[in-house]
Amino acid sequence: MDPLSWRENKLFLLDQRLLPGRVELVECRDWRSVADCIKNMVVRGAPAIGASAAYGMALAAFELAEEKETEFMTRLQMAASGLTATRPTAVNLAWAVERMMNVAKTQAGLNPHEIASVLESEANRLAAEDVAVNRRIGDFGAALVADGATILTHCNAGALATVGYGTALGVVRSAVSQGKRVTVFADETRPYLQGSRLTAWELSRDNIPVTLIADNMAGFLMQQKKIDLVLVGADRIAANGDAANKIGTYSVAVLASYHGVPFYVAAPFSTFDLSLEGGDRIPIEERCGQEITHFQGIRVAPEGVGCYNPSFDVTPAGLITAIITEDGIIASPDKEKIESLFGGRRHGRHQD
């Protein structure tokens, strides 16, 4: 179920556009094909596109390795900008590219060939860290899941959306591995169907009980007391705890608040963007209207109808019961608590 793997200087991406029907890999030999794959949703999910872009940077460095040093750095920066521009909302993408660029900039004395190898190692490190971080998120989050719980999730914040294990679904996996019996309700997640195509596929393959529902059924299930908690991922979390995630997440959070159901966001530190005071500053990707007017290539709306397709929304911190990170749980998140957790990391009180 690996969404990405690096072998012999090539990045292989599981083509998530074809799931669950077909399991096929796309081979990327240069940074431009990685950028195309991110843009076209071959790979998706905030941490997964970040890690893919990191490998894209390594590929760019190998492609440019014959250049003189200044030209190498200038063109590496162009690749960095090209990769970052592919999708605007998930900050993990810019975070990963920036991390790679900073490593390249601090290799004084090395030639471009050597820098390319350093970047390859850095991408491998970033990818391995992602899985380790998700396991830590999972272990912290599992404490919030009671034996027998029914969990609602939206979109896919699983192994497919990360390098492995998942954030929200990592919490589910950790709870299951602790012997807890859980049932997951997966919102289908219109219009791109990450819930039905990816979450349902991923959980079924792991034999974790999953029931698919259409997005508009979540309120009814909560009213019927069939949901004990909501667990979602995030694409960008502002300094005050407002969290952007797949479109529809905000509606689920409002419903959860109304029905007194705890609403948890599971996300690594690479998803926080402390440069933004609040969620209203988070750029929201708008995607092609055809995702709504068509279903698997078949038109389901009249010709010429206007369409608006924002791909993410922002859940205000006030609707979030807690954010589950790799360093612990931030209950009722706000600016002070987030700052203090980050401050602790800067002063080495937390593991990296």
Nearest distance, CB of residue 160 and ligand MRU, angstroms: 9
Nearest distance, CB of residue 104 and ligand MRU, angstroms: 26
Nearest distance, CB of residue 118 and ligand MRU, angstroms: 27
Complex with ligand MRU: residue 199 or 293, whichever CB lies closer: 199
Binding site for ligand MRU (CB under 6 A): 44-47, 90, 155, 157, 161-162, 167, 194, 233-235, 245-246, 311
Complex with ligand MRU: residue 101 or 133, whichever CB lies closer: 133
Complex with ligand MRU: residue 157 or 261, whichever CB lies closer: 157
Q: Who contacts 301 (Cβ-Cβ below 8 Å, separation ≥6)?
A: 292, 293, 294, 307
Complex with ligand MRU: residue 72 or 194, whichever CB lies closer: 194
Q: Do residues 264 and 322 lie in contact, with contact meaning Cβ atoms separated by under 8 Å?
A: yes
Q: What share of the chain is helix, strand, coil (3-state, %, to 5)?
A: 45, 15, 40
Three-class SS string for 145-208?
A: CCCCCEEEECCCCCHHHCCCCCCHHHHHHHHHHCCCCCEEEEECCCCCCHHHHHHHHHHHHCCC
Given 130, 235, 313, 327, the catalytic residue: 235
Nearest Cα to 262, choosing from 230, 217, 226? 230
Cα 156 versus chain centre, distance = 8
In the bound state, the residue with its beta carbon closest to ligand MRU is 233
Is 235 noted as a catalytic residue in this protein? yes
Tokens of 124: 């491998």
Whole-Å CA distances, 244 to 137, 278, 320? 18, 10, 12
Nearest distance, CB of residue 266 and ligand MRU, angstroms: 8
Q: Which residues are the active-site residues?
A: 235
